[in-house]
Structures are given as C-alpha cells and as structure tokens.
Chain A
Amino acid sequence: MDAVYFDNYAATPLHPRVKEAMHRIVDEVFGNPSSDHRFGQAAAEALDTARKQTANLINAEPEEIVFTSGGTESVNHAIKGVAFSQREKGRHIITTNIEHKSVLNCLRTLRLLDYHITSLDVDEYGLVDPAAVEKAITDQTVLITIQLANNEIGTLQPIADIAKIARHKKVVFHTDAVAAAGIIPIDVKALDVDLLSLAANQFNGPNGVGALYVKRGTPIWPLLEGGVQENRKRAGTENVVGIVGLGVAAEMAWLESHERLEKFRTLRRKLIDGLNARIPHLKFNGHPTQVLPHLVSVSVEFIEGEGLMLLLDEEGICVATRSACASGSLRASHVLIGTGMDFALAQGTLLITLGRDNTEAEVDRLLEVMPRVVQTLRDMSPIYQKNVAA
C-alpha cells in the first residue's frame, strides 16, 4: 500500500502541469534573464509569464511581485527591508505572539539593533484584536507584521480590519500569507495590505521559491544586494526553473480553487468528526470557523506528539507534530502556548494538512490506524491511567 501524505504544510507534491513546465525549462532555457541576447530573453520571457501568473493569484500587478527563495526570505525581506528603509522615521514594530519563526527571529535581530517590538496577545483561538493593534501604534511605529493564517492552528486573522487601521495611521503593513496563499482566495487590493509573503511549496509548486508582494510605493530596502534584478528589489540571478514552477502552480491553484476548497472542506469535516468519534480526550485547536480549510491541529491528551508521528509513519501515514522534542529547539510550540494551552497538552499535538491529491480512502485509513496507535502510547504513559481513573 502506498504511503499516505498528510504533511502538505511542509511541502506539497508537484502538480503534473508544474512538473511539465519545469522539465521544459530545464531542457530548453538556460540563459540569464539579464542578458539582452536571445538566450537571455527566452529566460526573461519565462519570468514575465510566471510574474503574471503569480500576480493573478492574489490580484496584484505583475510589477508588484518580487520572486524570492521562499516564504522565509519573503518575510525577512518585508520586515528587515521596511525596518532599514524607515530607520530615520522610527524603530517600533508591532506583531503578535503566534507568528512564524521567520518573523520572530527577524524581530529578535532587530531588537539587537535597538528596534522596539510590541508583541500582542491572542485569544484562545489565536485571534488578535484589531483594537489592540490600533492602541499599540505610536508615532515611532514603522511596521505592523501579522500573519494572514496561522501555520500551526490555521486561524485566520482579521487582516482587512488591521490593514484599514494601518492605512489610516500611515504605518506599513506586512502580512505573512505563506500558510494561506494558494489555499484560500486572496485579493491584495481588497485586503489593502502593503506587503504579502507567499511560498510555492504550499500549493503544489517546488520548494525553495516564493514571492513577496510589494504594493507600488512601499518603502523597502533590498535584503539581498547586488545587481538590478527584480526591479532593484532582490539582487542575484533568478532561479528561473523554480520561478516557472511557482507561476504554473499559482495558475493551477487559481483554476482549481473551487474544487480544491470543496475537497478540503469535505475531508477536514470527515477527519475531525471521525477522530472525535473514535478517540476520547482530544482537543481540536484553532478558530471553529475562521480557519484554514486544509489544516487540522489536534492535541492528544496524555501522550507526546513525536512518538505518535513516528508510529503513524511506521504505518505509512505521514503527519507533522509540534511537540517540543521534535521542534529542534526543544521548546513547546509558542503558538499553542500563546493560545493559553498548558505545556503538557501542547506536547501531544499533531498537525495534519491536506493536499489536492488526498482522498477519502486515505482519511479512512488514518481514522482506522490512529486510535490503535494512540492507545499503544497511552498504555505506555504514566499519566494516562491516573487521569482516566480520576
């Protein structure tokens, strides 16, 4: 039996059309897009097409798209780029407690450079209050950076409301939309954000390529400096093969949006209802309705997530965990702790993310296997019987 892949937040299988387009570029186009001869221009044309496709996914203008090496670079560019550009105006940045690590660590670096960071609390669902954002703005504030969708619990933030406040107060607003772009419809004009980060590997494009949307007129310093590529915003010869992959993935996400959303919603419902019916002592995380349609975050009481992930892998089912032990940093997830969850429960959290290729039969297999695996670990756990008896 084939292995089942439920870790689509980590990476997604390439869409057949993406594979096809990337193969064609590998075979036919090697030129440097900055060269004015025909070899270079063939590559430049491929970039132009990808730029239009990517812009279309989020209703941006093609010249507002900067290609990057992925979500992390996009976020780094947005945050450091605005901070460096606006250093004379002020050194205050607003964010939330549950952002992606790339945001947290950029802000950590800026703290060392004497920037002041206000990190806002979120509620039990991970929602930030737009009024709290407004209250935190000072005359020193140069940037607000808040994710569109949380990558661990799926909660969607009220980005349009926050953008309105930022616009009114004339503060640049970046939204990290990596977990959401290509999954749910995004319109940068309707949201009215200045900067938006996205990554191809979230929607059946290749790893290691992404884009930063930069609304025309947004003050931003380059992160990578050198030549004049990407409208002087991102130096370095472009990853043409990857960018072509991103472009086609964006086009396919746009074209297949409706059917993918239908599928995600059906499978997610089945998954949550099925797990709830089969396994006692579960907690589902994130907002009940304002949530990504393809993500299920579930905390399994009395056990630790890494063991659960490894045993599921042994059964041919691949999911992710947010337990401290598996995180590399050995700390419990700051997102789950940020929503007020206790450390012990956070340790037992699995992250199941669906993709366009998943099927109902695969969800059935998870529902069949997971109760058994959970019971094996609970029987091994010193805190299980004590708690269940009590």
Chain B
Amino acid sequence: MYSPTVLDHFKNPRNVGEIAEADGVGEVGNPVCGDMINVYLKVKDDVIEDIKFKTFGCGAAIAVSSMLTELAKGKTLDEAMKITNKDVAEALEGLPKNKLHCSNLGADALHAAIKNYRDRQAQKAVPGEAEKVPHIPEKVDACYCPYCDMENKGQAEFCVSCGADLPHEH
C-alpha cells in the first residue's frame, strides 16, 4: 500500500522531537480529524538551521512530517515557503489516493512555523506561542469523487454515481 520511501520515513522518522527554545512553531490539524503535525524551527540568518516535528497520525502523516523536515533543513525561509504539499508527496514517491490529504498538512505546518517566526520578529507574536491552523473542512458547493471523478454536491456523504464514501476532512 505504501511506497518503500514512505515506509522508510515512517519506520525511521528523521528529526523527531521538539526544539526547546524554538524560534517558530506551527501546529496544524487536530487529533479529532485524525492528524496533527507540529513543526519547530531554529532559524539563523534567515536559514532553517534546525527543524523538528511531532505528529499524531497515520503512517503517511508521520512519513510526510519526516520528509518535510529533510526538505526544509538548510533552506532559506523564502525557499522553504515555496515547498508545497505536492513536493512532499513526490519526494515520498507518491501516497495512496486516499492518503493525499495527509500530505496536505505537512507543508501547511512548515509554512505556519515560518509565519510564526516572522510574526515573532515583527513582534506580532509572543515567543512560546505557536501559529495554529485548525484545518476546518472547507465549505464547497461541489466536489469530485476521488474514485470515479463524478461531480457531487459539496457536502455529499457518498458519491451519487459509485456509492463511495466522500471524505470532507482537510
């Protein structure tokens, strides 16, 4: 089900933990919707000198967090802001279709941590307080079934064409 790269990052996650005196912290998601990723940054001269994560979530969410920290480490903040969820999924050699939402949290957590750092620099945020992004499901008018591509109403519980459950988390 998972690519070897995903399994490797899940079983041997890189950069797990917290940074005690972090310069920026991003918290995305919450345990209720299944995944929560916290990213901690140490920044020096506008470069991500150290990055760590803590994650509550499935194998994919943990692998995404691990890969994300590898991609971001050593990058300038501007470069790191350009890392997308798609970049993370690609670096992992793909995620199962129903797990793509896990990768959506990854880059968002990194971007939240960078925003938190910049806000602290601009004295818009207090050190010790994280940038929190709860990831409330979006209200949309229409969505497409990920299994048969049929258009459905925004909050439909299941696809009218093939009957598949339609997830609305993230």
Contacts and interface: CB of A to CB of B under 8 A. Distances in A.
Q: 6 smallest A-B Cβ distances: which pairs?
A: A325-B58, A344-B31, A329-B165, A306-B58, A382-B54, A330-B167
A381 B58 CA distance: 11
B62 A307 contact: yes
Interface string A306-319: 11001100100000
B163 interface: yes
Interface in B73-119: 98-99, 101-102
Sorting the interface of chain A by its residue count into under 10, 10 to 19, 20 to 34 or 35 or more gives: 20 to 34
A331 interface: yes
Given A109-B163, A328-B98, 11 more contacts: A325-B34, A325-B58, A325-B61, A330-B34, A331-B167, A342-B32, A343-B32, A344-B30, A382-B27, A382-B54, A383-B36
Nearest to A343: B32
Contact of A302 (B33, B56, B167): B56
Contact of A380 (B13, B30, B169): B13
A194 interface: no
| Interface residues of chain B: helix, strand, loop or mixed (majority) | mixed
B57 A304 contact: yes
Interface residues of B, number: 33
B11 interface: yes
Contacts of A153: none
A303 interface: yes
B167 A329 contact: yes
Contacts of A85: none
Nearest to A323: B58
Contacts of B31: 343-344, 347, 383
A337 to B, nearest CB: 11
B133 to A, nearest CB: 13
Given A307-B10, A307-B58, A330 B38 contact: no
Please indicate which of the listed interface residues A306, A323, A379 has the most CB atoms of chain B within 10 Å of its own CB: A306
A137 interface: no
A390 to B, nearest CB: 15
B16 A379 contact: yes
A330 B35 CA distance: 11
